[in-house]
Amino acid sequence: MVVDVSREKLILNKLVCEKKETIVVQGDMIVPDSKPDILNTLNTSGIVSIYKKEVMNGRIRIDGNINIYIMYLAESAEDKVRGINTNLDFSENFVLSDCTQEMRAEIETSIKSIECKVLNGRKINIKVTLDTSAKVYCREENEIISNISNNNIQILRPTYKINSLIGEGSTKAYIKETVAINNQDNLAEILKANLKIVDRDIKISYNKVLAKAEIELKIIYLTEENKIATIITKLPIVGFIDIQNISETSICDIGYQIRNIIIKPNSIEEHSIYVEVEIELSCQAYEEKEINLIEDLYSTCSNLTFNKRSVKTISNKMQRKETININDKINFPEISGNKILDIDINPRITKTTKSNTRIMYEGELDVIVTYADELETEINSKTLILPFGFNLENVPDAEKLEEESQIEIKSSDCKIENGNLNCNIDLLFNIGLLENTNLDIIDEITEDEEQDPQDYSVAIYVVKKDDTLWNIAKMFKSTVDDIVRVNGIEKPNKINVGEKLYIPKTLRTVESYV
């Protein structure tokens, strides 16, 4: 007969599959007739946009483009530095056999390198290498047995703290701004643009998640007087995401995906640049839920049969923010007598090591310096490497955890002194930690009261390696409580190999006949 049980619902955000790929995007660019011929390139930058993401059976397709800016030296002496801008479109298919169309995918894409090769004075070959990762999730509802109303059935029921999915949602945020430049500058063209999402934060109230961040935008431009200038500004990102039953104690994973970007001289208003950005904001909200999961069971007076299946879920999910300061100098003799036009700092982690309660990071900062003499008649660019290290302390069971890190340049101050570049940089680490836990879920318990009669009242058992009181009690259809009582065991979780235990026979209770 089927055993009567009580059940409770558990909703999981299950990681089905993941994949990392390197995408190479190439194309040729023809220099517009309005621009002078290229002597050589000085500096390149790019912004990646993913404007379409489609989850299908067995694969994910992404479509996007890379907005590329190239600073170059012109062949004509009077033009010196000029800039050109182009878009490279790309499409990529991730083959993931376990993926189905109703699942959800998270895509992370970053530019690893941009190479420009001057084919002739009017043509450039551009090669962009993208580091791309795809993770596929599905929302999975599970029912777990929470209680069994039968005193003859012994239950092994440890406590787990897992992260149950409350809900998920997304929205779009649009930025349409006019960025003012110096009133004395007559804008000729944009040489370079960099965009970063910084200062991420959330607030939760009334079944909504308010996701807030800022776009840090740096634009280098050329004036009609042939001077190079820089403007740095921050533009707010705000989005409301509806998620029912969310509370202030919920843990939220917020994703920001740039879908479209336009940066161009403002044709309507002088001394300004028009900026338009479309961003998709997504949120997955979790609650920490304590469950008493029945992992194993047996009856002292009957035979039980049941199904057991394994489910992978998330536990110990946490988020940490840590700021570290890097105050160091880099030997840079070429800079003597020159001035800095621009510094780009790109952080990357090269190695991650985990110990008991610590995660150790090793990384490097690519410090890309564009510099010129006082009259800006000679301009050069050089990439310097600055190593750094950082330890995340007080992380329980760090070796069991998976981590994902995002690094922001919170502030930077770089100065030239005695042939060195002195760098004072604050890095903000946004670190997500979680443990992937396998739960063995028991279903459909059936009881058969016919069994071979026990022909003993007390047995003697010698403890072997890897034995537990639970396994011994199950073997003899006794109970842990009876073995502990008869043997006077003070610490049930600690028994010694070679120890002799008296195993009493457990009598069937009245409930077993009902």
Same domain flag for 100 and 220: no
Q: What angle do CA 396, 468, 488 make, to 5 degrees?
A: 110
The 10s digit of each residue's pLDDT in 35-49 is 999 988 988 999 999
Any domain includes 4: no
- CA–CA dist 377, 388 (Å, integer): 35
Any domain includes 6: no
The answer for residues whose C-beta is within 8 angstroms of residue 189's C-beta and 6 or more apart is 82, 83, 221, 222, 265
Same domain flag for 87 and 229: no
Same domain flag for 336 and 442: yes
Task: Supply the CATH number for residue 492's domain.
Answer: 3.10.350.10
Same domain flag for 64 and 170: no
The answer for residues whose C-beta is within 8 angstroms of residue 109's C-beta and 6 or more apart is 23, 48, 50, 62, 64, 130, 131, 132
Same domain flag for 282 and 319: no
DSSP output for 309-366: EEEEEEEEEEEEEEEEEEEEEEE-GGGTT-EEEEEEEEEEEEEEEE-SS-EEEEEEEE
Q: Which of 117, 140, 163 is the last residue of a domain?
A: 140
Banded pLDDT at 213 (limits 50, 70, 90): very high
- CA–CA dist 112, 135 (Å, integer): 19
Banded pLDDT at 510 (limits 50, 70, 90): very low
Any domain includes 183: yes
Any domain includes 248: yes
Any domain includes 464: yes
Containing structural domain, residue 514 = 453-514
Same domain flag for 158 and 283: yes
Q: What is the mean pLDDT of the chain?
A: 89
The 10s digit of each residue's pLDDT in 136-186 is 999 888 888 888 878 788 888 888 889 999 999 999 999 999 999 999 899
Task: Note whether 62 and 50 are within 8 A (CB).
Answer: yes
The conformation of residue 512, written as its DSSP 8-state character, comes to: G
Q: What is the dihedral of CA 409, 286, 52, 128, to 10 degrees?
A: 30
Domain count of the chain?
4
Same domain flag for 47 and 63: yes
Same domain flag for 161 and 136: no
The conformation of residue 374, written as its DSSP 8-state character, comes to: T
Task: Note whether 301 and 449 are within 8 A (CB).
Answer: yes
Same domain flag for 405 and 514: no
- CA–CA dist 134, 245 (Å, integer): 28
Closest CA to 120 of 64, 38, 237: 38
Banded pLDDT at 454 (limits 50, 70, 90): low
Banded pLDDT at 61 (limits 50, 70, 90): very high
Same domain flag for 104 and 159: no
Q: Which of 451, 483, 506 is the last residue of a domain?
A: 451
Task: Note whether 203 and 243 are within 8 A (CB).
Answer: no
The 10s digit of each residue's pLDDT in 16-28 is 888 999 999 999 9
Predicted local distance difference test score (pLDDT) of residue 92? 93
Any domain includes 372: yes
The single-letter code of the amino acid at 15 is L
Q: Which of 429, 451, 473 is the last residue of a domain?
A: 451
Any domain includes 8: no
Same domain flag for 421 and 506: no
Same domain flag for 282 and 323: no
Any domain includes 5: no
Q: Is residue 108 classed exposed, middle or buried when 0-12, 13-18 and 19+ CB atoms within 10 A define those classes?
A: middle
